[in-house]
Structure 1
Amino acid sequence: MQWIWYNGELVPAEQARLSVLDGAVLHGAALFETLRCYRGFPFRLEQHLQRMRRWLAALRLFASARQQVDLRTPFIEQAVASLIRANDLQSADARLRLTVTAGSEWSQPACFLTATVLSPQQIARWREGAGVLLRPDPRAGTGERPKWSSYAAHLEAQYEAQALGREEVIWFNAQGNITEGATSTVFAWDGRHLVTPPLHEGILAGITRETVIQLCAQEGIPCIEAPLSVGELLSAEAVFLTSSVREIVPVTQLEDRPLKPHPLVQQLQTAYRQLVEKERAHDTSAGL
């Protein structure tokens, strides 16, 4: 039986109920955060909560949720721990998803957590790499984006990639600049700098993206946030994707161009995993 944490209680997944009058159902009005749990340790949980709290405060649509949903860190930490225990995932890596719905004038907002196991085979595939396609960004606008639950465009892009034997789609905007992956952020090594698109290109302020930027400073790797054209991406020496669940994924095929493993990407993969283990050890020693 799979358990979820729903509005403060553990319930069997098949018994959880969301009103058809909730704004999440009617209009896709929900925010979510996805993160990875390493053998019971939710990596960068606080950063994910800060991002969600920031968007809840900024969006008028979530006025009711701001008043009714408890996103204090200790409360959510306890929720995560109880959910992991209920699903017997203490010794496994898992995908955690926290969702807050807007509710509506007819329905109260909801807050729920899900946890699903990540198989060793999945994890190994991500570390080995992914093939990607380039497509126009179907979303309009610029500026940093919230993590809406209305992910239809992202899922459609993923289905197209999978149908063509690839794992991800990288989007570019009307100016010919890279924005992000359908479910990831993008980095490219041009031989001198590691480049990632700036937030004003209309991308998610990714938690893993920010972690990689910090790791670059630690590792002495020059990293800049700057517009990245399609041509620059196609000529890059190395390209990789980042996401909270998949960590750092090397791009092994960019459109029809194969890319060889690059030591810089491997260096960052190692540094990222070392950071996870360091924070996990600190968390354990703190008795959390």
Structure 2
Amino acid sequence: MSFDNAYEALTEENDARWAFGTGFADPLAGMDTSVPSGVDAGELARSCLWLGDDALIMSHRLQEWCAAAPELEDEVALANIGLDLLGQARLLLARAAKADPGMVPVVDQSDEDALAFFRDAEDFHNVRLVELGGGDFAFLMARLLVFATWRLALLQRLANAPDPVLAAIAVKGVKELTYHRDYAARWVVRLGDGTALSHDRMQDGLADVWPYVDELFDDDAELRAEFDAVIAQVCAAGTLQIPVVSRIPEQAGHTEHLEPLLAEMQSVARAHPDATW
């Protein structure tokens, strides 16, 4: 590679590895993955694991829309957004495994695949928003808008993380999530300001998503204010009302949607644990 260091390669826009995750055994190969002085390895690993889980599960939900989107162009767009998030998940889970190998559930496989395919539902840390099943296209766009707006604000802050690997992942993710958010916002406006039917379905999609919004912020008022400003602008353009709904009560586990999702996603890896592809 014609770069001065691995971090430049990771943040290069034309690096196809990020999008497709093929052609290399270790997504962090050649990078210094030692934990910097002053950074708590366990805390770093947990942060990367949670961010990776969010991206992994959301990616799977988006891929379910392949061959189901309203137009071919949108099937391609959703597939590419899903691949972006899958690339983020792979790098983040790989970083988590390198920072704290003890969290990997398969003793002889301390990598991102083990974290993705050999953990049970209770060991995942994704937000409940991403695991919800069902819904129509308006629900999908409402969820994508909320997820991308929130995650973009998070990764913008992590671009200055003390761990250079996490910071490089965040820098690349910001570019991708800016497109994800704008793609969803255009559809929310288009549906909200369209026909009476499309407006009602878009409003219903937001109402179905909104009970899961509060748990994203963990009392981070600054992050919430940034999120609210973006959502308010999009809703105003789409003649939509920001829902006033009750928050889903806190619970120790996940929704009933996660286990079936993981059963499908993990089936091949668990049936052939020694296979390579």
Please state which band the TM-score falls in when normalised by the shorter chain. under 0.3
TM-score normalised by L of structure 2? 0.25
Superposition TM-score, scaled by structure 1 size: 0.25
